[in-house]
Amino acid sequence: MRIAVASLGKDEDSEISEKAGRSPYYLIFDEKGELLEGISNPFAIGGGGAGFGVAKMLADKGVSVLIAGKFGPNMTGAMKGRGLKCREVRGNSKQAVLKVLKK
């Protein structure tokens, strides 16, 4: 299982972004809560379709859950269409992943 976090920064202690599809970065963690990689969001700025692009990008990286502060209806639909789950959590990226893993 891989968990991605929409993040304001590149390190595991960064704050979670309120914007799931337009987050500056995504942090990808493994099933133990270890940070595997941080990636810049190529869809952070621009026109429509960010949700669909992000959902595809994360699915291609093997992610099954995305944590963000908020999900809009388009982002939620794009994630569900790719078989990914959405979790709305606020705070620290690493702590949010550990919280999701405990459930």
Question: Could you tell me the residue ranges of all domains in the chain?
Answer: 2-102
Could you give the 3-state DSSP secondary structure of residue 76? helix
Please give the mean pLDDT across all residues of the chain: 95
Nearest Cα residue to 35 out of 96, 100, 94: 94
What pLDDT, on the 0 to 100 scale, is given for residue 46? Answer: 79
Q: What is the separation of C-alpha 90 from the centre of its chain, rounded to a whole number of angstroms?
A: 12
What pLDDT, on the 0 to 100 scale, is given for residue 98? Answer: 96
- Cβ contacts of residue 38 below 8 Å, gap of 6+? 7, 10, 11, 25, 26, 27, 28
CATH of domain 2-102: 3.30.420.130
Confidence (pTM): 0.94
pLDDT band with cut points at 50, 70 and 90 for residue 4: very high
pLDDT band with cut points at 50, 70 and 90 for residue 25: very high
